[in-house]
Amino acid sequence: MNRRDAIKTIAATSAAAMALKSSSLAFAEEAAPAFTLPPLGYGYDALEPHIDTATMKVHHTGHHQAYVTALNTLAGKVPELKSKPIEEILSDLTIIPEDSRTGVRNNLGGHFNHTFFWELMTPGGAKEPAGDLKAAIDAAFGSKDKLIEDVNKAATGRFGSGWAWLVVGKDKKLSVAATPYQDTPHMELAAKPVIGVDVWEHAYYLKHMNKRADYLKAWWTTVNWDKAAENFKKAST
C-alpha cells in the first residue's frame, strides 16, 4: 500500500467511525424513554421515624417505578403522552384514545400523584402554613387543626385505596376531597392540588399495618408547608 492509499484508508475509516458514532447518538436520543422516575431529592431514611426507610424505598422504586414503566409502554402507541403536558391530559382524558384511556388514567395519575407526594414531603421546609396559604386555610376552615381534621376524615373514609386532598377549585377556594385509586383532583373534581396524602396500604402497611389513622398522624409531621404554599400559588393562578 502506497502513502496515498494509506491516507485514503485512514480517512475512510475515520469517516465510518464518525458515522457510526453519530448513528449511535441518534439512536440513543430516539430511544430515550418518554417518562423517567423522578429522584426523591432526599434519602429514603430522611423522613424517619415518621415514614420508615423500607416503605419509602419500596414505594418509590417499586410502586412509582411501575407506573413509569407502564407509561413508557403506553407512550409507544399514544402520541399524546409525548406531546401534551401531564396536567392537560389529566384534566381531559377524552383526548386519549378510548382503548388506552384507563391505562393512562391509572398510570399517568399514579405518576403525577406520587411525584407531587414526594415533593410535598421534602425535608427542611416550614412546619406551619404562613402568608396567603395560612389566610386561605383560616378563611375556609377556621384553623390548620380543623383542616387536618377534615383531610383525615376524608382519608380514613376513603374505602380501599386512594388519596385525600386539599384542593383549589374552579371558584379559587380551598376545599377537601378524596379520590379513588390513582385519580387526581384534575379529573372528576376539575380542581388543583395543594396537599395530597396517599392512603393506599403500600404507603403505610410496613410500619403501621392496618392503622391508617396512625399513619396519617405521623404523615402530617412530614408536610413541607413551603412546598404547600408553592402549590397553592400555582393552583390559584
Q: Which of 117, 129, 135, 220 is nearest to 173 (CA)?
A: 135
Together in a domain, 232 and 136:
yes
Q: What percent of the chain has pLDDT over 90?
A: 84
Distance CA 56, CA 118 (A): 10
Contact 187, 179 (CB under 8 A): yes
Alpha helices in the chain (DSSP H): 3-31, 53-58, 65-75, 80-83, 86-91, 98-120, 131-141, 144-157, 205-208, 212-219, 225-236
Convert the pLDDT of each residue in 134-178 to its tens digit: 999 999 999 999 999 999 999 999 999 999 999 999 999 999 999
- Domain range holding 113? 53-120
Give me the phi and psi of 124, to 5 degrees please: 100, -5
User: How many residues comprise the chain?
Assistant: 237
Convert the pLDDT of each residue in 101-121 to its tens digit: 999 999 999 999 999 999 999
Confidence at residue 32, expressed as pLDDT on a 0 to 100 scale = 81
Together in a domain, 116 and 173:
no
Confidence at residue 237, expressed as pLDDT on a 0 to 100 scale = 87
Number of domains in the chain: 2
Using the 3D structure, point to which of 88, 120, 152 is the last residue of a domain. 120
Together in a domain, 67 and 138:
no
Q: Please say if the pLDDT value at position 20 is more than 70.
A: no
